[in-house]
Structure 1
Amino acid sequence: MIGIIGIVVIFVMVFGGYVAAGGKMGIIMHSLPFELAMIGGAAVGSFLLSNDMSAVKHTLKDIGKVFKGPAWKPADYRDLLCLLFELIRVARANPVALEEHIENPEGSAIFARYPRIAKDHEAVDLICDTMRAAAMNYDDPHQVEEVLDKRMETHGHHAMHSSHALQNVADALPALGIVAAVLGVIKTMGSIDQPPEILGKMIGGALVGTFLGVFLAYGIVGPFAARVRTVVEEDGHFYALIREVLVANLHRHPANICIEVGRQNTPHHVRPSFADLEDALRTLKQEAA
C-alpha cells in the first residue's frame, strides 16, 4: 500500500505543481506517447540486452516486492524459532530420528506445522543442509559455519540482482531522455521555417523527452530499485536468524540458549518478545510430553 501511495504522491506533486504554476498539459500529453515509446522502448531493450532470461523473470517478479513489502512477518520469525527448537531438540535426543525430517522435509510432521516456512525452498534447504552437514562434521563446527556463511553470501548476491538491474535502467534513463530530446530538436530544425508558435510547441515537445527520462529515473525506477533492495535486505534477516541459531547449535549450546541467541539477533521490529516465545516453546514441550 505504501508503494502505491508513494507513486500517487510523486505524480500529484510533480504534475499538480506544474499545472498550479500555469503549465499546460496539452504539450506534454501530445508528445508523451512518442517520447515514452522511444525512451521506454530503449530502456526495455537495454534491460533485455544486459540480462539473461532468468534474471529478467527474477526482476519482473521482484517488482511486486515494491507493493507487497517483506515476505516475512513477526509471527514468521517466532515460528522459525519454534521450528529450529524442535529440530535441535530431536537432534540432541535422537540423531537418527532427525534424518526423517531433514531428508524428507515435505513429509516431516515438524515442518508441516509451519506451512509458510515449509513453502520457502531456500529456508528449508538451508536448515536441512546445515543440520545434515553438522551431523557429519561435529569434529569441526567451524568448517560447517564457513560453508554456511559462503552459502548465505551467494544467496544474498543473487537476491540483489533485481535491484542492480533496475538501478542500471534508472542510471540509463536520463541519457535516453537526452537522446529523445535531441531527436526532437532535429525534427524542430527541419521545420525552422515555421512560425514561432509552432516552433515553440515543437521545442517544448522535444524537452518532454529530457523531462521524462529524468522523471522516470529518479521518480519511479530508481525508487523501485531502492525499495527492492530494502525488502531483500529485510527478508535476509530471516535467513540470518537461521544462521545464528544453527551456528550456536554447532557449538553445542543448550537448545534454549541457541533459540535466545537467534531471538536477540533478530531486528527489533520483527523480534518476538521473550514472553511470547516462551509461551510458544512451552506449548511445544507440553505437546511433546
Structure 2
Amino acid sequence: MFVIIGYVFMCVCIFGAYVSHGGHLGVLWQPSELVIIFGGGLGAMLVAYGPQLKAILASIPVLFKSSPYGKAFYMDLFALMFEILSKVRKEGLMSIEGDVENPDASPMFAKYATIAKDHHVVEFICDYLRLMVGGNLNAFEIENLMDVEIDTHHHEAEIPVGFFQKLGDGLPAFGIVAAVMGVVHTMGSLHLPPTELGKLIGAALVGTFMGILLAYGFINPLAWILDGKAADSTRVFQTIKVTLLASLNGYAPQVAVEFGRKVMAGHIRPSFLELEEYVKNKKA
C-alpha cells in the first residue's frame, strides 16, 4: 500500500510542479528512450543475475505486502518455544522426538497456525531440536552451525536486494546513453529550423531525466524495502537461535524465552509481563 501511495505522491509533486511552471507532459513521453533505459538495464541485470531470476521474480509480490513477522507472529513463536522447552524440561529431550520428526502431525505445532505455515521457520526449529535430541553436539558447535545457516539464509534473501539496487544504480547511466543517442540524432538534423531542433534537444534530455527519476524514485526504494524484509526474516532465526541456546545452556523455559525477546525489534517487542502471560495462557 505504501509503495503505491509513495509513487503517486512523488509523481504528483514532480509532474505537478513541472506543469505549474508551464511545462507540457507530452514532451516527457518518449517511448524509445524508455526502451533504451529499461531494456539496457534489464539486459545487463539478466547477464549478472540470470541464474537467480526465479528468486527475484518471487520477491516482487513481497514488495506490496506487509511483513508477516509482526508482534503476533513473535508471540506465537515464543508460546510454541515455551511449550516445547517446558515439555523437554519435564519429560526429557526424547519426549519431543515425534514432534520434531513430523511437525505436521504434532499437536504443539498445530496450535500455532501462523508458525506452522512458515516452512523455513519450522524446519529451522526442528533441525536444531533434532540435534539437541541426538546429543552429539555441544552448545558451541550448534551455535556455529546456526550462524552458518543464518548467514546463508540472509545471503539468499539479499539476492533480490542486490538486483534492484544495481538496476537502480545503472538506470541513470542508461539514461545518459539515451540522451547521447538523442544528441547524435539532433546533430544529424541541424538543417531543421530552430523550433524543430529545440524539440529534438528537449527529447534527448528527457533520457537523462527519466533515467534518474526511475532509478532513485522507483527502483532503488524497492531495494530498500526488500532489504528491510530480509533483515526481518533473519531476525526471526536469530531469535530462535538465542532461545534454543539459552535452553541448551540450562536456563528455564521462561528465561530462555526472555533471551529471545531481547532480540526483537523495539517497536514490536512486548513487555516481559505481557509475553509471560501470553505464553502461559497458550500453553494452558
TM-score range normalised by the length of the shorter chain: over 0.9
8 Å Cα contact 1:138-1:250 kept in structure 2: no
TM-score norm. by structure 1 comes to: 0.93
Secondary structure class of the residue paired with 1:265: coil
Match of 1:242 among 240, 243, 256: 240
**Cα distance in 2 between the residues matched to 1:139 and 1:160:** 30
Match of 1:197 among 188, 195, 198: 195
1:57 deviates by: 2.2
Match of 1:174 among 141, 157, 172: 172
8 Å Cα contact 1:181-1:209 kept in structure 2: yes
Secondary structure class of the residue paired with 2:242: helix
Match of 1:96 among 94, 97, 105: 94
8 Å Cα contact 1:163-1:226 kept in structure 2: yes
Q: Which digits, 9 at most, give the CA deviation of each residue in 1:188-211, with x for residues without a partner?
A: 122110101111101111111111
Secondary structure class of the residue paired with 2:267: helix
Letter in 2 for 1:180: A
8 Å Cα contact 1:137-1:144 kept in structure 2: no
- How many residue pairs get aligned? The number is 283
Instruction: Report the equivalent of 1:141.
Output: 139
TM-score norm. by structure 2 comes to: 0.94
Alignment of 1:45-64 (within 5 A): 45-53=43-51, 55-64=52-61
**Structure 2 unaligned spans of 5+:** none
Change (3 A) 1:285 1:106: closer
Instruction: Report the equivalent of 1:25.
Output: 25
Q: Percent identity?
A: 39
8 Å Cα contact 1:75-1:272 kept in structure 2: no
Instruction: Report the equivalent of 1:114.
Output: 112
**Cα distance in 1 between the residues matched to 2:228 and 2:250:** 34
Change (3 A) 1:61 1:285: closer
**Structure 1 unaligned spans of 5+:** none
8 Å Cα contact 1:176-1:213 kept in structure 2: yes
Instruction: Report the equivalent of 2:272.
Output: 274
8 Å Cα contact 1:184-1:203 kept in structure 2: yes
Letter in 2 for 1:274: F
1:63 deviates by: 2.8
**Cα distance in 2 between the residues matched to 1:158 and 1:208:** 36
Moved more, 145-154 or 226-235: 226-235
Instruction: Report the equivalent of 1:12.
Output: 12
Residue 159 of structure 1 pairs with residue 154 of structure 2: no
Q: CA RMSD, aligned part only? A: 1.5
8 Å Cα contact 2:179-2:205 kept in structure 1: yes
**Cα distance in 2 between the residues matched to 1:36 and 1:118:** 44
1:138 deviates by: 6.2
**Cα distance in 1 between the residues matched to 2:107 and 2:135:** 26
**Cα distance in 2 between the residues matched to 1:148 and 1:250:** 13
